[in-house]
Chain A
Amino acid sequence: AQSVAQPEDQVNVAEGNPLTVKCTYSVSGNPYLFWYVQYPNRGLQFLLKYITGDNLVKGSYGFEAEFNKSQTSFHLKKPSALVSDSALYFCAVSPFFGGYNKLIFGAGTRLAVHP
């Protein structure tokens, strides 16, 4: 079955420290991978995506993600966390079939950045 796993319900980081939010997927073929962020009482905002090419993808607000095909992972990273990065983060995968961009979402990881 196709699935996305975000193994941590919450990640706590001190401001200024690097952060990593983990994501692994189980999808046949070569999927497209996405990260979204959700601030309180807001919709999901697109951060970045991996389609093909360089395994390190850079996105909005200084975030980046590394695609690792052998480990089927797509971890989200930022070199220096800000308190304003505190939010709910979703990893999603779009299985490559039929041109239909249905997204399979992970359960989400809550990031808390402490001053």
Chain B
Amino acid sequence: DAGVIQSPRHEVTEMGQEVTLRCKPISGHNSLFWYRQTMMRGLELLIYFNNNVPIDDSGMPEDRFSAKMPNASFSTLKIQPSEPRDSAVYFCASSLVLAEETQYFGPGTRLLVL
């Protein structure tokens, strides 16, 4: 299995631009998570999908952030407009749904907003 796939791996953009991050979960997994990692705040859960439906988006920082999962094999995290404080590494993870199941992480997208 290829594991969780994320693209792009690196993104540099200017403040005010729209940024779209993409994720392909492991085939057969029905839970998908988006995380953000920064030095200051550590690893934060942004949003969780179960069977393509957003279940918990309490971690989404503000309305500039949105996430979609149109089908079981694809999810996007969009930031519009982007700001320098959004600079971070964004991870996608997938798993089976039960509480004891392991989450498997993608390699991350390193975002720099100038």
Contacts and interface: CB of A to CB of B under 8 A. Distances in A.
A105 B42 contact: yes
Interface stretch (B69-77, B79-87, B103-111): B103-111
B42 A95 contact: no
B99 A32 contact: yes
A102 interface: yes
Interface of B: 4, 31, 42-43, 45, 48, 50, 55-56, 91, 93, 95, 97-108, 110
A10 interface: no
A11 interface: no
A94 interface: yes
Interface in A30-81: 32, 34, 36, 41-46, 49, 51
B45 A101 contact: no
Interface string A87-101: 000100011111111
A44 B6 CA distance: 13
Interface residues of A, number: 25
Nearest to A94: B99
A99 B91 CA distance: 22
B87 to A, nearest CB: 15
A59 to B, nearest CB: 11
A99 B96 CA distance: 10
A102 B100 contact: no
A100 B102 CA distance: 12
A88 to B, nearest CB: 10
B105 A101 contact: no
A49 B105 contact: no
Contacts of B101: 101
Contact of B43 (A45, A51, A90): A90
B102 A46 contact: yes
